[in-house]
Structure 1
Amino acid sequence: MTDSPVAPVITRIRIESSDNVRLEARWDTPVEPLSIAVLCHPHPQHRGTMTAPLMIGITAELVQAGFGVLRFNFRGVGSSTGTWSAGVGEQDDVGSAVAFAAHAHPALPLGIVGWSFGAATSLRWQAREQSSLPWVGIAPPVFSDLTPRLPEPAALPPARRAFIVGDRDQFVDVAELSGYAHSVGADIDVLKGSDHFFYFRYSTVAERVIATLDPTLVD
Structure 2
Amino acid sequence: MTDVAVPGARDVRASLDGEGAESIVVACPPHPRQRGHRGDPRLMAVGEALAERGVACLRFDYGEWDEGYGEREDARNAIRWAAERYGSVGVFGYSFGGAVALLAAASAEESLLGVSTLAPAARLNDDLDAAGAVAELDAPLQVLYGARDSTVDWKPVVEAAREAGATVEELPSDHFFLGKHDRIGESVADFLAERR
* Bin of the TM-score, shorter chain as denominator length: 0.7 to 0.9
Which residue is 2:90 aligned to? 111
Query: Which letter maps to 2:169?
Result: D
Deviation track 1:138-168 (CA, whole Å, cap 9, x = no partner) reads 10132577xx531425750332001001111
Displacement of 1:130 in angstroms is 5.7
Relative distance call for 1:144 and 1:69 in structure 2 (3 A) is closer
Give distance in 1, aligned partners of 2:144 and 2:105: 18
Higher-Rg structure is 1
Which residue is 2:13 aligned to? 24
Give distance in 2, aligned partners of 1:135 and 1:111: 6
Relative distance call for 1:123 and 1:130 in structure 2 (3 A) is farther
Which residue is 2:194 aligned to? 215
Relative distance call for 1:98 and 1:130 in structure 2 (3 A) is closer
- Structure 1 stretch 150-159 or stretch 115-124: which is displaced more? 150-159
Which one of 119, 122, 140 corresponds to residue 160 of structure 1? 140
Which residue is 1:53 aligned to? 41
Give distance in 2, aligned partners of 1:67 and 1:54: 17
Relative distance call for 1:24 and 1:56 in structure 2 (3 A) is same
Give distance in 2, aligned partners of 1:41 and 1:153: 18
Question: Retained in 2: the 8 A contact 1:127–1:151?
Answer: no
Which residue is 1:169 aligned to? 149
Q: Which residues of structure 2 form unaligned runs of 5+?
A: none
Displacement of 1:209 in angstroms is 1.0
Which residue is 2:6 aligned to? 15
Give distance in 2, aligned partners of 1:85 and 1:143: 15
Question: Retained in 1: the 8 A contact 2:49–2:189?
Answer: no
Question: Retained in 2: the 8 A contact 1:132–1:157?
Answer: no
Which residue is 1:84 aligned to? 65
Which one of 97, 103, 118 corresponds to residue 78 of structure 2? 97
Displacement of 1:111 in angstroms is 0.3
Q: Which residues of structure 1 form unaligned runs of 5+?
A: 1-9, 76-82
Relative distance call for 1:97 and 1:144 in structure 2 (3 A) is closer
Displacement of 1:196 in angstroms is 1.1
Displacement of 1:176 in angstroms is 4.0
Displacement of 1:115 in angstroms is 0.5
Q: TM-score, normalised by structure 2?
A: 0.87
